[in-house]
Structure 1
Amino acid sequence: MVDFTFLLVVAGTFLIAGSVKGVIGLGLPSVSLALLSVALDLPTAMALLLIPSFVTNIWQSMVGGNARAILVRLWPFLAMATFTVWIGAAALTRVNLSLLTALLGSLLIIYAVVNLTGIRIVVPSHHEFWAGPLIGSVNGVLTGMTGSFAVPGVMFLQAIGLPRNMLIQAMGMLFTVSTVALAAALQQANFLTLQYGAISAAAVVPAITGMVLGQRIRERLSEQVFRNVFFVSLLILGTYIIVNALQKL
């Protein structure tokens, strides 16, 4: 039997994460994983993330009219980001979970710092043929180990100079295929139970509610200010996750 406090933590987490995504168009996986990993073990946090992440990103991956162009250009990157998740997920049963949680905190810090400082790496088009599969593989392994989809995958999508609408759709496609691969890997490793699946499905409600709330907040608040607050918060939370995880070693 799952206690009420556990359900309240999950609902509150996805309400917050959905609100962030509603305001700035991203952040649901990062926020929900960061908050859940503070209160729960990493595999449980990853399992609870799956269905809200899939539902909120599948639409993003389909809207924009650029799916064919993205697949033609980025299929090696997306394929490797998908297939290598199993390699990373194997670490969940072989590596101390506190170390993997600290790795998650480190990825959150990198994601926050890159966005706060405006660092932009440029990958010339003639290097995409090898950089895409390589970075996709790294992204997949890190997804399997930590549940984080963003580093270095999102940075690669930004580095190749995609137009804004295509970038948003490509991010949605990356997050969607990564979520599906992570679900399969967690199921194979016996981390995805029927109970967690049901709670993850129920978490779609607060996530969607948060997105609607966030869209209304966006009408009254500067998106850039909110982005800065979001990434500073992610930086602080990532640091706390690392310190907390290392104390458990």
Structure 2
Amino acid sequence: MNTLFGMYHTIGVSLSALVLITFLLAGTVKGMIGMGLPTVAMGLLGLAMLPAQAAALLIVPSMFTNVWQLMAGGHLRGLIRRLWPVLTMICVGTFAGSLWLGIGSGKSMGHALGAALLVYALCGLFLPTLKVPPAAERWLGPLCGLITGIITSATGVFVIPVVPYIQGLGLDRNELVQALGLSFTISTLALGAGLFWNGELGGSEIGASILALIPALLGMMIGQWLRRRISAIWFRRVFFIGMAALGVHLMIAG
């Protein structure tokens, strides 16, 4: 029990409340648009704690919700055959980045997190859906996976450039949702391994992450309820504008 609540005792009541509210909001975003939980969590928690602490907190909520997303649909085997080079290079990039960079505590990592959020938001707002030619998958997929892994190891954000790449493969909606869940699951596992290697993920952090799963799941239910009642296009636009504002703030403040 001490392990389960230890990190929350250490960070205090105010920061603990921020963690719970953040994962409620992050879960709502994921329930609404099918992604965004780690990005929202890293962006908001990055305002008040070190990126490594924020990344450790998101491991269990991200893993659980992405496996849930991954298991929906019947395309898993085919997606693994198609995406294994990307997934492999995500792991390689994350492990290499964890040895080389790691999620540090300096202002430079806060700036890097802000830059990643801003690029992600600008891509979501302005970048048209890419069309990846089948012939390009052989080299572009591993390259996107490697870059995504390196960015993941430094910032805890694992959406750039792999999300635009997967969206450009011409998958149908169910395949796309499952493919994103597969990519995010592998990224979460690789990030967790990198944090553990660098001594940033122990019993206290895992316990705190388990508790963060509760508001994340509640938020997902709220998001699914909202999805039936408001425009998903409007919600996505507001989400990306918010991520851009967070990114700019973190780039300035570090």
CA distance in structure 2 between the partners assigned to 1:94 and 1:203 by the alignment: 20
Instruction: Give how far 1:92 is off.
Output: 4.5
* In 2: Cα distance, 1:202 partner to 1:39 partner: 19
1:214-241 Cα shifts (integer Å, max 9, x gaps): 1112222111111111111111111111
2:245 counterpart (236, 240, 243)? 236
In the alignment, structure 2 segments of 5+ residues that lack a partner are 1-8
Structure 1 match to 2:66: 57
Identity of aligned residues (%): 40
Partner in structure 2 of residue 156 of structure 1: 165
1:42/1:97 contact within 8 Å kept:
no
Alpha carbons 2:51, 2:105 under 8 Å: kept: no
Tell me by how many angstroms 1:84 deviates. Answer: 2.0
- Asked whether the equivalents of residues 42 and 146 of structure 1 are also in contact (C-alpha less than 8 Å), the reply is yes
Please list every run of 5 or more consecutive structure 1 residues that lacks an aligned counterpart in the other structure.
none
Contact 1:115 1:231 (8 Å CA) reproduced: yes
- Out of 13, 23, 43, the position equivalent to 2:22 is 13
Tell me the TM-score normalised to structure 1 length: 0.94
Matching residue of 2:184: 175
- Tell me the residue number matched to 1:129: 138
Secondary structure, aligned partner of 2:46: helix
Q: Return closer, same or farther for 1:59/1:95 CA change in 2, 3 Å cut-off.
A: closer
Q: CA RMSD in A?
A: 1.5
Deviation at 1:172, TM superposition (A): 0.4
- The partner residue of 2:109 within 92, 100, 109 is 100
* TM-score (norm: length of structure 2): 0.92
After superposition, the C-alpha distances for 1:3-57 in whole angstroms (9 at most, x for unaligned) are 2222211101100101111111111111011001111011111111111000110
Partner residue in 1 for 2:37:
28
Superposition deviation, residue 120 in structure 1: 2.7
Whichever residue aligns with residue 104 of structure 1, its letter is L
**Whole-angstrom distance in 2 between the partners of 1:232 and 1:172:** 23
For the Cα contact (< 8 Å) 2:66–2:184, is it kept in 1?
Answer: yes
Instruction: Give distance in 2, aligned partners of 1:58 and 1:93.
Output: 25
Counterpart Cα distance in 2 of 1:242 and 1:201: 30
State the secondary structure of the residue aligned to 1:20.
helix
State the alpha-carbon separation in 2 of the partners of residues 235 and 84 from structure 1: 25
Higher mean alpha-carbon deviation, 137-146 vs 213-222, is at 213-222
1:209 to 209, 214, 218: 218
Runs of 4+ in 1 over 3 A off after TM superposition: 91-96
State the Cα distance separating 1:94 from its structure 2 match: 8.9
Shift of 1:93: 5.4
Contact 1:57 1:173 (8 Å CA) reproduced = yes
